[in-house]
Amino acid sequence: MLAVAAVLALAACGAPADAGSDGEVTGAVTVFAAASLTDVFSDLGRRLEDDHPGLQVQFNFAGSSALATQLTHGAPADVFAAADTDQMDVVTDSGVGVVSRAPVLFARNQLEIAVPPGNPGGITGLTDLADPERTIALCAPEVPCGAAAEAAFDAAGLTGAPDTLEEDVRAALTKVQLGEVDAALVYRTDVRAAGDAVEGIDFAQAADAVNGYPICVLTDAPNPAGALAFVELVTSDAGREALATAGFTGP
């Protein structure tokens, strides 16, 4: 079903619009993006700036639900990229008409257990994250990674035993990097982005909690040409390659 939605969305959103991708692309483009996209989008933003002198790409990285709230309250932005379709729906269904074209799915991501180097808590799988004795960080259920975590625990028939519910996935990852928790449930891409600072542990139920990432140009985008250029870069072969390098899978 998701695949069909993706194709439909592509048909609606991916076609080059009148704004013209080869026209003048200058000024500032403001991109609201899920925290898990921090590294790969920053790279793509720099690449777009190199391709278009005079263009500046500004990012607001945060939990998708926080971004959705900001957008429905009128935050000025050109592009929104969420970590799941629910939060994109919040924006498209808000009745304030902020999305001009149907969102397009551009990547998928799945959860992985992140532990500090050396795995001091002796974590081996999802069962250990249901152990109240251990110090565990999960994402708050309001944000996509938290919703995915709930799905993963449900699939495993377990109840998570978090000590803290973080406001976005990078906040959860930070707690692992600081060594303050024994484990956190984050995205596979976050584990990869953290390099040697954390170790990743795969678990079987991760496949039951896969997030699709939609992106779209916003109706009131102050810079529609720049917005379209960014979305086209993300959905281009070069964009997919960058996303794949970061650990995302294709839509």
Partner 1 sequence: MPLPLLVPAAVGVVFLVLPLLALVVRAPWSAIGPQLAEPAVGQALRLSLVSATLATLLSLVLGVPLAWVLARSSIRGRSVLRALVTVPLVLPPVVGGVALFLVLGRQGIVGRLLHEHLDVTIPFTTTAVVIAETFVAMPFLVISVEGALRAADARFEDAAATLGADRWTTFRRVTLPLVAPGVAAGAVLCWARALGEFGATITFAGNFPGTTQTMPLAVYLALQSDPEAAIALSLVLLAVSLGTLLVLRDRWLGRSAAV
Looking at the Cβ atoms of 38 and 235, the one nearer to partner 1 is 38
**Choices 4-12, 21-29, 175-183, 237-245 (CB under 8 A): range interacting with partner 1:** 175-183
User: Both ends of the chain: CA-CA distance in Å?
Assistant: 12
The reply to whether 225 sits near partner 1 by the rule CB under 8 A is: no
Residue 152 and residue 220: Cα distance in Å, rounded?
Answer: 37
**Choices 21-29, 63-71, 76-84, 195-203 (CB under 8 A): range interacting with partner 1:** 63-71
- Please list the alpha-helical segments (H only) found in the chain: 2-13, 38-51, 64-72, 85-92, 144-156, 169-177, 188-194, 224-235, 237-246
**Choices 1-9, 164-172, 196-204, 223-231 (CB under 8 A): range interacting with partner 1:** 164-172
The reply to whether 69 sits near partner 1 by the rule CB under 8 A is: yes
Residue 176 and residue 24: Cα distance in Å, rounded?
Answer: 44
Packed helices 85-92 and 64-72: angle between N→C axes, nearest 10 degrees: 0
**Choices 36-44, 64-72, 213-221, 242-250 (CB under 8 A): range interacting with partner 1:** 64-72
Size of the site for partner 1 (CB under 8 A): 21
Q: Which of 154, 163, 208, 220 binds partner 1 (CB under 8 A)?
A: 163
Looking at the Cβ atoms of 137 and 215, the one nearer to partner 1 is 137
Residue 240 and residue 215: Cα distance in Å, rounded?
Answer: 13
Q: Which of 77, 140, 193, 221 binds partner 1 (CB under 8 A)?
A: 140
Q: Which of 39, 78, 128, 166 binds partner 1 (CB under 8 A)?
A: 166
Closest CA to 106 of 237, 242, 235: 235
The reply to whether 65 sits near partner 1 by the rule CB under 8 A is: yes
Residue 87 and residue 65: Cα distance in Å, rounded?
Answer: 6
The reply to whether 135 sits near partner 1 by the rule CB under 8 A is: yes
By the 8 A CB rule, do 8 and 15 touch?
A: no
- Summarize as ranges the residues that interact with partner 1 (CB under 8 A): 63, 65-66, 68-69, 135, 137, 140, 142-143, 162-167, 175, 178-181
